[in-house]
A and B are shown apart, each in its own frame.
Chain A
Amino acid sequence: MKRLLLLLFATALATTALAVLPALPRDSVYQSPAQFTDAQSRQFAWSAKRGQVQLVSMFYTSCKFVCPLIVESGKAIEQSLSAEERARLGVTLISLDPEHDTPEVLARMRRERSVDPARWTLARPDPRDVRAIAGLLGIRYRALADGEFNHTSVLVLLDAEGRVVARTERIGGLPDPEFLAVVRRTLKP
């Protein structure tokens, strides 16, 4: 009986949630059922990012060269924005290497590269979901014999509904001006 009540309650909750949010667009990456763990060991569904414009990329913490540049690129975009714009933008970096990038490793990276945990999420996917997530973001990668990864370095901009609105492969401290313009436009309230 208790279980039945619980079930009813859960159903009511789910129905309420459905009533509040309109159906997810078919071209949203949040159609993916992927779940992540963040640097604070919190679990969340990718679709929980719905509602906020997101700058997204994939990386792995043991990468020595290009991946730190991806973090710098994200920061460079943030620094080019006004405080108001910045507050409306989330950054999600998804690991290509969930076997090694545990929440502890992600937390260390967050401290070392001093990214703001209020706006940035370092996300560890389920190892079985990595190829599909990369596919949705148009990222190609291959695990190398020495534990490194060969991968597309890209920043992807998702609108609040999770649709890809822009991408740039110009990685570094100087933001790609065209990409930045789309970021600003997408952040307009």
Chain B
Amino acid sequence: MRALLLACVVLPLIASACAADTYVRVPGGDFPTALKYEDARGPQRIAPFEIMRRPVTNSEFLAFVNAQPQWRRDRVASVFAGPDYLAHWQGPTRVSTGEQGTQPVTRVSWFAASAYCQAQGARLPQWLEWEYVAAADATRRDARQDPAWRERILGWYARPSSTPLPRAGAQVPNAYGVADLHGVVWEWTEDYSALLVLADNRNQDDAERNRFCGAGALSINDRENYAVLMRVAMLSALNGADTTMNLGFRCVREVR
């Protein structure tokens, strides 16, 4: 199994052999996002795509780093990854013994995560794709209006971040068959820097508006949906080289 996973990362050519195991097909649909796009009101059209069943693990990322040594923490260009990139590993090409290999990889920059997905013939998810899959619970594709769903997610946000990470994929998968979208790590999206949410929409004076060319910035339709609100606030504050101790990723690819 481990050898197969390794092969998927190192040899994108045979990745299709691993696909059934790693990726889940998500049907398209019209999705009422919690965000408010002033240029495109109403539900957003989501095309079908395939997404990883669970976040990328430390072992999988290690295989990638071994195949592309320019992504080793001791060799990476600092424009692509900040000083804490993979700092939790035992060495540049060694994850710590014990649980770490199966835990979701964190302390990865957007550039490194993108390069990983690219090596798989995949890409990072768009925000809307991520939000769409993450709206589900174990039985419903859109559980967002359920107060219990919201409570559970907020419960996770309230947990101290020093709690050790669980094994990736250990949680019950959602209605699409995708696990760990909530409750384990934060995740990069391809368009993290498209989330032009100003710090406080209520005090948006002209100077602030002029920071962006074109129409007004994003705002939030569903102010009660803290799960989405916090994700967007976090992603919109990040730069591409940033890493944090609880920010990981998973890849998506076009339907084959």
Contacts and interface: CB of A to CB of B under 8 A. Distances in A.
Contacts of B194: 140-143
Interface in A131-175: 131-132, 134-136, 138-146, 148-153, 169, 171
Contact of B193 (A66, A140, A146): A140
B121 to A, nearest CB: 13
B210 interface: yes
Given A132-B111, A145-B37, A145-B40, A153 B193 contact: no
Interface stretch (B75-83, B95-103, B150-158): B75-83
B191 A27 contact: no
B214 A144 contact: yes
B193 A134 contact: yes
B212 A144 contact: no
B79 A27 contact: yes
Interface in B1-51: 37, 39-40
Contacts of A139: 193
B79 A32 contact: yes
B238 to A, nearest CB: 10
B209 to A, nearest CB: 10
Mostly, the B contact residues are loop
Interface string A27-49: 11101100000000000000000
A151 B217 CA distance: 9
A82 B212 CA distance: 31
A2 interface: no
A185 interface: no
A135 B110 contact: yes
How large, as a class, is the contact surface on chain B? 20 to 34
Given A26-B78, A29-B79, A66 B114 contact: no
A28 B80 CA distance: 10
Nearest to B216: A150
A140 B76 CA distance: 23
Interface in B103-161: 110-111, 114
B77 A142 contact: no
B173 interface: no
A150 B79 contact: no
B211 A152 contact: yes
Contact of A146 (B39, B236, B241): B39
Interface of B: 37, 39-40, 76-80, 110-111, 114, 190-191, 193-196, 210-215, 217-218, 236, 239-241
Interface of A: 26-29, 31-32, 63, 65-67, 131-132, 134-136, 138-146, 148-153, 169, 171
